[in-house]
Amino acid sequence: MKPRILFVDDEPDVLAGLRRTLSHRRADWDLQFVASGAECLVRLEEGPCAVIVTDIRMPEMDGAELLQEVQRTHPGIVRVALSGETAREQALRAMGAAHQFLAKPCGPAALERALGDALALRSLVSDSR
């Protein structure tokens, strides 16, 4: 079963760019894209997810709140913050719940490497050996 990676961003152009950038990894990863924290939480209830990658600055539920909720309800999911300019308070809240913080713009190679590392680490941590 392919690991599911869920991307969360309220900007459709950003999601489209991520979809395009990572399209060659569809054979290896189940890539899903949602436009809000609320939609992300619904998707997480639909089945297992390996990694979420969220923007920090979003309306209604910001990325820091989303990461904290995912940490509480789905602690086994690797949590990555991917964000451009962020208010200091939001960034500090996100750092407490994120395993990794990537700055926008994040090059395709750096993003792929971070996702690959997250998946590798997750498999090691979840392996009982």
* pLDDT tens digits for range 71-107: 999 999 999 998 776 656 666 666 778 888 888 788 8
Taking the C-alpha atoms of residue 123 and residue 115, their distance in angstroms, rounded to an integer, is: 12
**Around 123, how many Cα atoms within 13 Å sit in the side-chain half-sphere?**
8
CA distances, 91 to each of 23, 25, 64 (Å): 29, 29, 7
pTM: 0.90
Which of 29-33, 47-51, 60-64, 102-106 is predicted with the least confidence, judged by mean pLDDT?
A: 102-106
* Token duo for residue 50: 């390996």
Q: In this structure, how many other beta carbons lie within 10 angstroms of the beta carbon of residue 119?
A: 17
Quickly state the pLDDT bin for 5 (edges 50, 70, 90).
Answer: very high
